[in-house]
């Protein structure tokens, strides 16, 4: 049965292990070590880093999806990454990895039967409405079993809740495992710097710290003064001239 749903065990790209407000700043030390070797002044902040976060998020989404399907391969017959769904604001929600999943319903029925007591408690814990939270799904296993015809007909939310239940028991550390698998294997932040070479090989303005790029247009815009040696960007030259 193919269902569109979203994966559990993923905490999104906002102030999470995958990405936070220090993500780019943390890369400065390594960039500045290379700049030192290249006899260039260090970058003072991360403003000059051009970073393709969208591509990184999609790559992580794809590979996280594959790892998740391998981890729960007894229950997932096939899976396809669809997209990262990002909220407009991060107050109450975060990014979700949306997938189309083909579940092995027989295996899921067996699993819930074998872990029935835990599933009863899990539904009470996660699907009970309270002040400020309204659950769209019932917290009663009897209602689940009649509504889903004993788990044979699931909507996206129900599939998510069941996958989360299985993952909690079978792969409780999955997100950290996935993070360690993907980092150092192509999904690190610095792999998505668009101006990697410039960051290591271009001078910065002595006045404002702005990085120059390799384009001829930008090269025309800075002047090198020999005595004392200085590199000053076009904007700063304009200000000095005023």
**Distance between CA 225 and CA 236 in Å, rounded?**
13
What is the smallest separation between the CB atom of 47 and Zn ion, expressed in angstroms? 12
Q: Return the number of the residue (176 or 230) whose C-beta is nearest Zn ion.
A: 230
Q: What is the DSSP letter of 190?
A: G
Determine the Cα–Cα distance for residues 118 and 82; give it in Å rounded to an integer: 31
- Residue 233 as a binder of Zn ion (CB under 5 A): the answer is yes
Answer for which of 205, 212, 222, 231 binds Zn ion (CB under 5 A) is 205
Token match 């990697």: residue?
A: 196
- Is residue 236 a contact residue for Zn ion (CB under 5 A)? yes
User: Is there binding between residue 208 and Zn ion (CB under 5 A)?
Assistant: yes
How many residues bind Zn ion, per CB under 5 A? 6
3-state secondary structure of 189: helix
Alpha-carbon distance of 121 to 64, in angstroms, equals: 28
- Does 207 engage in binding with Zn ion (CB under 5 A)? yes
CB of 233 to Zn ion, least distance (A): 3
Q: Which two tokens stand for residue 188?
A: 């690190």
Please identify, among the stretches 98-106, 182-190, 194-202, 205-213, the one whose residues bind Zn ion according to the rule CB under 5 A.
Answer: 205-213
Tokens for 74? 């007894």
Q: By the criterion CB under 5 A, which residues form the site for Zn ion?
A: 205, 207-208, 210, 233, 236
């Amino acid at each position: 049965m193919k269902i569109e749903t979203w994966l559990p065990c993923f905490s999104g790209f906002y102030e999470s292990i995958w990405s936070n407000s220090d993500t780019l700043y943390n890369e400065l030390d390594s960039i500045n070590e290379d700049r030192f070797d290249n006899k260039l002044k260090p970058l003072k902040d991360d403003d000059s880093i051009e970073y393709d976060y969208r591509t990184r998020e999609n790559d992580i989404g794809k590979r996280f999806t594959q790892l998740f399907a391998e981890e729960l391969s007894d229950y997932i017959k096939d899976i396809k990454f669809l997209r990262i769904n990002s909220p407009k604001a991060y107050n109450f929600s975060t990014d979700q990895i949306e997938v189309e999943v083909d579940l092995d319903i027989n295996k899921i029925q067996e699993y819930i039967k074998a872990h029935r007591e835990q599933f009863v408690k899990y539904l009470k814990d996660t699907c009970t409405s309270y002040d400020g939270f309204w659950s769209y799904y019932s917290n009663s296993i009897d209602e689940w079993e009649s509504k889903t015809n004993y788990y044979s007909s699931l909507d996206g939310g129900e599939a998510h809740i069941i996958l989360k239940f299985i993952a909690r028991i079978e792969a409780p550390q999955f997100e950290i495992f996935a993070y360690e698998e993907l980092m150092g294997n192509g999904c690190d932040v610095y792999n998505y710097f668009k101006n990697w070479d410039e960051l290591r090989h271009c001078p910065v303005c002595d006045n404002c710290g702005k990085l120059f790029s390799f384009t001829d247009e930008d090269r025309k815009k800075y002047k090198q003064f020999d005595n004392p040696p200085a590199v000053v960007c076009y904007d700063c030259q304009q200000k000095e001239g005023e």
